[in-house]
Amino acid sequence: MKIINFDSNFKKAVAKNLVMFLVCVAVSTALSFFLISYMFKNSVNKEASSQISTVSAISANVSKNIFDGSNKIADIAEEVSPSVVHINTEIVQTIDNSNIEFFFNNDQFFKRFFGFSPFEEEMPRQPLQKKSSGMGSGFIISDDGYILTNFHVVKNAFKIIVKTKDNKECIAKLVGKDTYSDLAVIKINEKDLKPALLGDSSTIRPGEWAIAVGSPQGLDHTVTLGIVSALSRQIPELSNVSFIQTDAAINPGNSGGPLLNIKGEVIGINTAIMGTAQNIGFAIPVNVAKTIVDQLKSGQTIGHPWIGIAMSPVTKEIAEALGVSAKTQGIVISKVLPNSPAEDAGLTEGDIIQRIDGKRFIDSKELQTYIKSKKIGENINVQVLRDGNIVGKKVKIGNWQEN
């Protein structure tokens, strides 16, 4: 075996080259680390700066578009206040007392001891009348004294007193009403009044600002702020329209007052609250009023297309109860009102509407909207599922009656 021996000079050269190599590697690694750190830090700073700029831009945009100045709401309230009125009413209620027994009627004391009762021949009875008072709000819609409010504010009132912003009291008269939508127009003999600006309720969205102005508990020209909570709320007990829901504080006395947007335009007529909850109020969309206000001002009767049914979409539970397939779709008729177009046409409870004029419906609101789009007296072709068979009926659109 051959053994190779290295002299001392060679060993020194190798050691020197190895040290230089290690130094180069160390310097290169440090430089690479520095460059990477610098690039990463620069990138993070740019991203953070971009995010801060974006947030600042959003904040500035929100501030500019929603609250352009700290007095935005106060300015709106001041601007609309002359258009909002307080309404007091005096009401007479007639009470039927034909079923009320007088204290001595059929008294056994007289019959037992005298053999007769002087009260056996019943005296004629006059209906009882009870006087009461009410209050609400309204807003001016023309400079010559026309005011829009809820019908329930002035219902059965024999005297209507309107108080304006300057505390002037005026006697008003009812010129038009629509019980279907719970709207009414009253008039005072005043000129050069300031009407409120009417907006477009079809463009509003949940989350937009809402301002209520009115007379809660008689505290006139009270201003409250909230948002539009939801749209198209159905409350048949109140009205036949789809309501705007808001969390702006509404209380008894606010009825008939305006619900405003952030531009100061009327988007709704405050109508009711949910008594079992807080901050759940309802307003009639102003577009409903805009379509009938001219007719109300002239005292015309408002026509409302109607066929006279209560209905709901078919669910699996309803399908099971009716004994049809769980996959069945349509609108089930839960009630047919007497003397209605639906009854005249032969529709019955339990019928499942499949099509109207060839159009399929699975949503009650869509069906109701379709009926409202028809003219009174017009015929529609209704196909219903009854006892497993499709039955066709021709229904003549009628005019909704209050009773």
Tell me the pLDDT tens digit for each residue of 305-331: 989 888 888 888 888 888 888 888 899
- Give yes or no on whether 201-294 and 305-399 have one common fold: no
Catalytic residues: 152, 182, 255
Between residues 303 and 231, the one the model is more confident about: 231
The pLDDT score that the predictor gives to residue 176 is: 92
What integer pLDDT is reported at residue 169 of this predicted model? 92
pLDDT for 97 equals 58
Residue 52: the pLDDT is 47
Class of domain 201-294: mainly beta
Span of 32-46, 143-157, 339-353 with lowest mean pLDDT: 32-46
Residues 151 and 178: beta-carbon distance below 8 Å: yes
Q: Which residues contact 91 (CB under 8 A, 6 or more apart)?
A: 131, 132, 133, 134, 155, 156, 157, 158
Average pLDDT of 348-360?
92
> Which one, of 269, 397, 285, lies nearest residue 344 by Cα?
397
Percent of the chain with pLDDT over 90: 49
Average pLDDT over the chain reads: 81
Query: Which CATH superfamily, name and number, covers 305-399?
Result: PDZ domain (2.30.42.10)
pLDDT for 12 equals: 57
Average pLDDT rounded to a whole number, residues 205-221: 93
User: How many residues are recorded in the chain?
Assistant: 403
| Mean pLDDT of all residues in 172-181 | 92
- In the chain, the amino acid numbered 1 is M
* pLDDT > 50? residue 1: no
- Summarize pLDDT for 25-52 with one digit per residue, the tens: 665 666 665 656 656 555 545 554 555 4
CA–chain centroid gap for 254, Å, is 15
pLDDT tens-digit map of 264-310 = 999 999 998 887 878 899 999 999 999 899 999 988 888 889 898 88
Task: Give the residue, 227 or 56, on which the prediction is more confident.
Answer: 227
List pLDDT tens digits, range 47-103.
545 554 554 554 445 445 555 557 889 999 999 999 999 999 998 777 665 554 444
pTM of the model: 0.69
| Domain boundaries along the sequence of the chain | 201-294, 305-399
Nearest to 209 by CA among 60, 56, 77: 77
Quick one: average pLDDT of 180-192? 92
The answer, yes or no, to whether residue 251 has pLDDT greater than 70, is yes
CB 260 within 8 A of CB 210: yes
- Confidence label for 380 from pLDDT (cuts 50, 70 and 90): very high
Instruction: Give the bridge partners for 384, in sequence order.
Output: 353, 391
pLDDT of residue 8: 54
Mean pLDDT of 196-224: 93
